[in-house]
Structure 1
Amino acid sequence: MKLSVEQILNLQEMKVLNSDEIEGLGLVIEIQRDSECARCPRCEVLSYSKHQNHWRMVKDLPWGKNEVLLRINRRQFRCKKCGQVFSEELEFIGQQRGYTKRLAKKIVSEVIESNVNSVARRNDMTSEEIATMLSDEISNILETDLSQVKRIGIDEISLVKGKGKYVGVIVDLDTNRPIKLVESRNQLEMREALLELGYNILNQIVEVSIDLWKPYKSLVLQLMPNVDVTADRFHVMKQVNEELDAARKSEKNAAKQLTDEENKNEILAGINKSKYALLKNEDNLTIKQKEKLEMVQKVSPNLEKMHLLKEEFRDIFDHAESWGDGVIKLLDWMYDAVAYFPKSIGTISRWFGEVAGYFDQKTSNGAVEGIN
């Protein structure tokens, strides 16, 4: 049986007036409420007195590969009791939003499994629009049964890259599902969010993975009496990558100061545009990136050694067979790497117990890093 546009659209109390596929836009569906009256929000009296039509376009869930735009007639009525003009309520759209609530829910779920920028590109949206969706959904998207939660991750999501706009996130690490979003990442608001989980839940949590931020650590130890704290491996790896990238920039700047033009040009040809070849997991490099890696290794023994150490560091976390095996390999790596990664070694030394804790359960905030 062939379904009608109205049945596929599946918006309660709405009727389809027209639909048309328009090149460059997608499927445009005209709809309005299937009712001749609306209730006044002030005095709650039904009004049948239409004041005017008000058309607007909003994005809805795609149909297969087809984009869907809803052209909605949100009518205005005049209340005969209080005399005020009001717009009818449309439950499936938020106030002053250019998309339906169900599209926002889909987008947020995609962000949780991927990241803001890639989801924005895939859905032809701006990162700012997705940031607004995340903010809208903070209070209602993550309702879930917490009775089985034993291990959580605490981290933050960058809503808009480069704008310093973050929200905190608490994730059930056994299901990789967020259980709470917090409107900022400061310690006080995170404390309130954790307390909202209730003491029974906090008492049953046995492991928390956090970034390398002491306020989160002290907060966790204060509120969760049975917890082991693990430093998130992705944040430790991030520090190693940042130190490698700083060395790349330093060598590039040093090369620019050389007076021997032939030597300078050779070194710069190798180092220029080498960031991702150096920082990306070597197993995932493209053919061009592998060629670039060989070029930078040829002109810079220092970056070659740092890249090798970076890959060895990742391999320890990927393949340690036990806590003891991981700790011994990490200590050996720290001895070999101290001349190349002094800042990272300092951080690992200060957080050694939490970093080594990863080798017990292989716990990390991978789901959160996917968002970022």
Structure 2
Amino acid sequence: MNTNDLYLTNKIDIHCETETKSWECPICKEETSRIHQSTSRVLRDLNMGSREVYLHLTTRQFYCSNCHHYFHEELPFASPNEGHTYRQSDFMFLVAQQQSYARSAVILNMHPKTVERAILSKCEEMINVTENYAKVKRLGIDEQSHKKGKKDYICVLTDLDNGTIVDMLPDRKKETLVQHFQSLGKEFCAQITDISCDNWQTYINVAKECFPNANIILDRFHFTKQLNEGLSDYLTEVKSILKPLLNNSKDFSKLKKVVNVQYHKLSDEQFD
């Protein structure tokens, strides 16, 4: 990598180019030096002190005359589809361990979605996602908000048999979930025997569409919540009916307490 120009302001712009004159075709493994076209890229790199560093470089698309394949040269320090270097991505991951994506984005002066994608990608590298998916038989689907009060959800997929997180998706939209599960293949979808989720209709529809052999089970938290809400509504209705028959509100409180006690734990007096 040759450095051509260096500009210093409140940020540092480094203009550079690769030294390699030819590249190996990934298909036929033949060397080629025939350049089809060039593309300019700007990559965010680690800061130097308080100054942000940007690498300005030109990447080349080669043409292989042997197999007629077009391909881009690879950079050892950056992904072909990202606007930052690998070491900047590592730094983003360290920063985001201590605070939310939004707060990390302010510190890094980057877009929150860029930080989010980098963190999710790093997590996939750290855990063997493919291997983990192969072991899953009973899958939990839930969401978590990473912006308090904003309802900006990520989707969390869990192996219910060992209680570990298998994967995280950037949102909980139906199209995102369906596309993700279908990309894992029919064999994976067929191996799932149970899906645990809340009563949100999108999760239920996705489970029906993607997992033909799975039983859909409402998770315990949401099932208990719905049960308690139903019981509370019922007691409110009962109170309005029994109000003329009760001496005071304490009598109803005693009744409500009895209703909430498990059947086998009732005393003889409560049972009567």
Q: TM (normalized to structure 1)?
A: 0.38
* Structure (1 or 2) with the greater strand fraction: 2
Q: Which has the larger radius of gyration?
A: 2
Question: TM (normalized to structure 2)?
Answer: 0.50
Which structure has the highest helix share of the two?
Answer: 1
